[in-house]
Amino acid sequence: MNSAKRKRLVSNETKRLSLIFKEVDSKKQRTVKGLIEEASFMKATLTELKEIIQVEGVIDEMSQGDYSIMREHPALKSYNATIQRYTTVTEKLLNLLPKDVPKTSDDVTEFFDFINKRD
């Protein structure tokens, strides 16, 4: 993934999440903004890692002198670590939503679908 595509993904996700969380109390907006920035970056990273995994597979062959060993692809290892942190960040964001905002809007449903999708 090139840097222009990554920046576009981050920007689009930031805008999308900002709309979802615009009703959060003004005292919490600074926290929300930081979490949105991190979640957006992580989502773009997850997309990039997923592309690598789909092309290269989940197993990687690593040379060790005269022989080679099979191991978990480094991109898969990074994906698994990132998805865990992404889930934590999104849970923190969701907990900041006001209680009176319905959490079943299309954007929030799409957000939950992405969190729960682990290919």
Interval 4-60: pLDDT, tens: 999 999 999 999 999 999 989 888 999 999 999 999 999 999 999 999 999 999 999
pTM of the prediction?
0.77
Asked if residues 43 and 86 have their Cβ atoms less than 8 Å apart, the reply is: yes
Kindly state the DSSP code that residue 58 receives in the 8-state scheme: S
Domain ranges of the chain: 3-114
pLDDT number for residue 114: 67
Q: Mean pLDDT lowest for which of 6-10, 51-55, 73-77, 102-106?
A: 102-106
Collect all residues with Cβ–Cβ distance below 8 Å to 85 and sequence separation of at least 6.
42
